[in-house]
Amino acid sequence: MSFDRNYKDSRILVTGGAGFIGSHLSERLLAAGAEVVCADNYFTGSRKNIAHLLSNPMFEAIRHDVTFPLYIEVDAIFNLACPASPIHYQRDPVQTTKTSVHGAINMLGLAKRLRAPIFQASTSEIYGDPLIHPQTEDYWGNVNPIGIRSCYDEGKRCAETLFFDYWRQHSLPIKVARIFNTYGPRMQPNDGRVVSSFIVQALRGEPITVFGDGGQSRSFCYVDDLVEAITRLMLTGDDCTGPINLGNNSEFTILELAEKVISYTNSRSKLIFKPLPQDDPRQRQPDLSKAKALLNWEPKVPLADGLKETIAYFKRTLD
């Protein structure tokens, strides 16, 4: 097996492969002819997400926590292991930082031994509550180091530091993507993220919980678009390290999102307003110039279409 910038006949490790994005990525890699090893401790992922892949002889799932060393032979590594929704990453914040930092060290150590390219699922949270808009990769961010989101934000920032030090010190081929809010089928219905929460509430006729005045903004990317970008990034040359913003640059307020979800589900749900969580970023929109230039990629799926797909998924799974 080898990894020659083509997935065919390569063996690829996907950590967090039983999660929302990881399961879509695993599917895409299998379709491209790769063998996929999924390593996941099922903290927020689910065996259901990969159940349809288990009979594929090119797919293998191992129960593994990335805070512990992993000795296997692969040609490339996608490091996605980490809870991503605030209620999940705040449930055990110490473990969240350990997953980001020890997880990165172990996966970088594995990549170093194998001389294998390694992708890091970094995040727009690197920018914190951003003071420039839209966010470009050269912005250093505005992050509270001791708040309730810090375990995730600072963990991911430290992971970026480690990636760039392994690159400088050990010439490791790294690919760091700063992923902005992504949604789609296989989000967990109870993970508290805004898209899944609003859809589930609307389908059940429950009140839609808008935090704050709903004037804060996010830019939502459909998972298929994101996976396309991630798989392209891994195939770039060694000089293409990132960090590179990946997401969708169509920006919506949370109120606009709520209205769309109510309309596409024909729901009678009413809005209720709840306190804004601490350190909740006010606005967020990626500058995607770098992704367009380096990957010849831009997101294609408009929010309306992606929401309809996601609503159809939740209708099927909630029934």
Among 11, 12, 37, 41, the residue binding ligand NAD under the rule CB under 6 A is 41
Q: Answer yes or no: 152 catalytic.
A: yes
Of the chain, the end-to-end C-alpha distance in Å amounts to 43
Q: Which is nearer to ligand UDP, 27 or 129 (CB)?
A: 129
210, 212, 217, 219: CA torsion to nearest 10: -40
- Smallest gap from Cβ 230 to ligand NAD, in A, equals 9
Answer whether the bond into residue 207 is a cis peptide, omega within 30°: no
- By CB under 6 A, residue 21 contacts ligand NAD: yes
Query: Residue 218, interface with ligand UDP (CB under 6 A)?
Result: yes
Q: Which of 40, 75, 153, 154 binds ligand NAD (CB under 6 A)?
A: 40
- CA–CA distances in Å: residue 106 to residues 22, 68, 113, 296: 18, 7, 11, 32
Which one among 18, 77, 194, 288 touches ligand NAD, defined by CB under 6 A?
Answer: 18
Give the whole-angstrom CA distance, residue 98 versus residue 285.
28
DSSP 268: -
Q: Catalytic residue among 127, 152, 183, 222, which?
A: 152
Residue 150 sits in the site that holds ligand NAD (CB under 6 A): no
Compare residues 56 and 283 and give the one whose CB is closer to ligand UDP.
Answer: 283
* Least distance (Å) between residue 109 CB and ligand NAD: 15
Using CB under 6 A, which residues numbered 235 to 254 contact ligand UDP?
254
Give the length of the chain.
319
Interactions with ligand UDP, residue window 174-213 (CB under 6 A)? 181, 192-194, 197, 209-211
Note whether 26 binds ligand NAD by CB under 6 A. Answer: no
Neighbouring CB atoms inside 10 A of 152's CB total 24
Residue 217 binds: one of ligand UDP, ligand NAD, none (C-beta under 5 to 8 A by kind):
none
Q: Is 81 a residue that touches ligand NAD (CB under 6 A)? A: yes
Does the protein bind ligand NAD through residue 97 (CB under 6 A)? no
Rounded CA-CA distance 208/317 in Å is 19
Task: Decide if residue 128 touches ligand NAD (CB under 6 A).
Answer: no
Contacts of 215 (CB under 8 A, 6+ apart): 253, 254, 255
- What mask, x for binding ligand UDP by CB under 6 A, covers residues 95 to 124? ----------xx--xx-xx-----------
Does the footprint of ligand NAD cover residue 246 (CB under 6 A)?
A: no
d(CA 81, CA 101) in angstroms, rounded, equals: 11
Query: What percent of the residues of the chain are helix, what percent strand, and what percent coil, each to the nearest 5?
Result: 40, 20, 40
Number of chain positions touching ligand UDP (CB under 6 A): 25
> Can the peptide bond before residue 243 be classed as cis, meaning omega within 30 degrees of 0?
yes
Q: What is the largest CA-CA distance in the chain?
A: 57
CB 137 within 8 A of CB 245: yes
Binding site for ligand NAD (CB under 6 A): 15-16, 18-22, 40-45, 65-67, 80-84, 99, 103, 121, 123, 179, 181-182
Catalytic site positions: 152
Binding site for ligand UDP (CB under 6 A): 69-71, 85-86, 105-106, 109-110, 112-113, 181, 192-194, 197, 209-211, 216, 218, 254, 276-277, 280
